[in-house]
Chains A and B, each alone.
Chain A
């Protein structure tokens, strides 16, 4: 249980930051201390060594001028006046036997006999003589005298050790609160650094299906977190637009389907209520099938429009020969135009190519052509043309039909809008919305020029290299 919560704590960025902050802080404090300790201890030992060396040279000079007596007298004088810095002094004979020895009373515990046992090695500068059961060491420097005599001067490290021990004690006393301070400071810094992230988290958490309008407060500091907040808000914006768009289109679809559903229900109800003969019932059933077919078509078209408008429509893009495309669609309507007595004409050079979904292209052209033929009276003319215009390919569907009233022109792209004159014709009122949505899904534009009584001219402009990003 404890281990698991520890493991979870370890995963928290705040905790990790705290550990890093305080770890670095404590390590630097330790490093500084170690450096100071090393410098102090080496400067102290250097001081001691210099003092010993100086004394050794002094005494050696004394010996050489006045011999052993002068040396002994000097030490006695020294003893008498109790000089501040005590030294260990030993004069050894040629067999390393002690001839003269002076040990300050506080160092009597050193085992001087050991010096006698050692073969005097004048090349090694320092001899260390440990005290029994103590960490202090007697540092001894030697100098050879004439007649193979040996003069040794030494000093205990206890003074030095005392200072260093004191230093260590102070450090320990300081380090405990320092570590605590390090942790506290680290935690505070981590807390501070993560504050914008916590804001972000709480804002994100409050975003729900019904609360898409929440935005993350931007600190306006221009740093990475500010950027993150801005990016996140941008993303929320997009999601909100998408959700609203979907909700709207769902509402519209539901609304648009209610009318034909009511009709369907009405047909069935009337057939059921009255005692009609079999033939009328069969008529009603056929009506129902037709009506349900209409509903299905409507639903499919509405979904196509929604998909195309929201960019969710899957386009199977390929290189399409525009001339073949136009010919194919014209072929579909050849008989219809012929029967109605309309002259249909196509014009496109053979080297026009589009990157587009050929099926969708056929669908929109068929839609436009269907309208053109539908609203052009017998004896009229319908033209389909394609040509290059700059980097675009322009496809025209022109008719000499009844035209569209200027007041109605802007509304023809609206879903389910039907012009007054078109109401007498069969149709869903979705064709042009679908055409526009598909053209836009192909990154193209569509315009219309129309004059009542003279005809309409639909112009589609599509980029030649339409690569979906």
Chain B
């Protein structure tokens, strides 16, 4: 998997490149819009991360140019502005996403992975298994080491989300968006409460804990 990052701030670029490489991606970095456009036009990428404010050629023009040349690589837009302007909205086809600065790297990573997954259209599995935990997506049956676990709808949605993203940290914002379809942070502990409930059902009676809290970042499900 190869990713192009177009970002003029070198510090941000270096931590993003480092993080993506650690996550197993090959990453190319362009420092301005023109260089980014050239690279995007000449090399095949699985995803592109583009900052909006760029020297020489701004991010939106870059993306517009790419689309005009019929290059439909999924794009994540990074913006320092909170409110997304209408042009970005216009650009947002099914394969695009945006993230506002400052962002958590884990969130960027999760979004990149989601985009690639969506673009490559891997076939939907009917069941998920992580370690001793397995979920049947059709019957919505959850078992751990054979023991059946009863979950309420939101709890099930969270568990499914965590399992689909095994080993990846999911932020509270992402969980809110995914489980309740809320696209703002209501400044509450609803996510913590939901995770706590899920833990009580999935982890409490077992020795190996699977749901972990990464302080300040979010939650992750993994086999320890």
Contacts and interface: CB of A to CB of B under 8 A. Distances in A.
B197 A296 contact: no
Contacts of B216: 286-290, 293
Contacts of A336: 188-190, 193
B25 interface: no
B70 interface: no
Interface in B172-198: 180, 182-190, 193-194, 196-197
Contacts of B190: 332-333, 335-336
B193 A367 contact: no
Interface residues of B, number: 23
B190 to A, nearest CB: 5
A206 B190 CA distance: 55
Interface in A341-368: 359, 362-363, 366-367
B14 to A, nearest CB: 18
B83 interface: yes
A331 B184 CA distance: 16
Contact of A332 (B102, B182, B217): B182
Given A300-B82, A332-B186, A431-B187, A339 B102 contact: no
A359 B184 contact: yes
Contacts of B83: 314
Contacts of A249: none
B68 interface: no
A362 B193 contact: no
Chain B at the A interface: mostly helix, strand, loop or mixed? loop
B187 A339 contact: no
Contacts of B104: 289
Given A332-B190, A335-B193, A359 B185 contact: no
B150 to A, nearest CB: 15
Chain A at the B interface: mostly helix, strand, loop or mixed? helix
B154 interface: yes
A288 B216 CA distance: 8
A370 B193 contact: no
B217 A362 contact: no
Contacts of A297: 185, 187
B121 interface: no
A335 B185 contact: no
B56 interface: no
Contacts of A367: 186-187
A439 to B, nearest CB: 16
A413 B183 CA distance: 25
Nearest to A307: B83
B193 A339 contact: yes
A301 B187 CA distance: 10
A172 B111 CA distance: 91
A292 interface: yes
Contacts of A286: 215-216
B116 to A, nearest CB: 26
6 contacts: A301-B187, A328-B180, A331-B154, A332-B182, A370-B186, A431-B187
Given A334-B154, A367-B187, 7 more contacts: A297-B187, A300-B82, A331-B180, A332-B186, A335-B193, A362-B186, A428-B187
Interface of A: 286-290, 292-293, 296-297, 300-301, 303, 314, 328, 331-336, 339, 359, 362-363, 366-367, 370, 426-428, 431
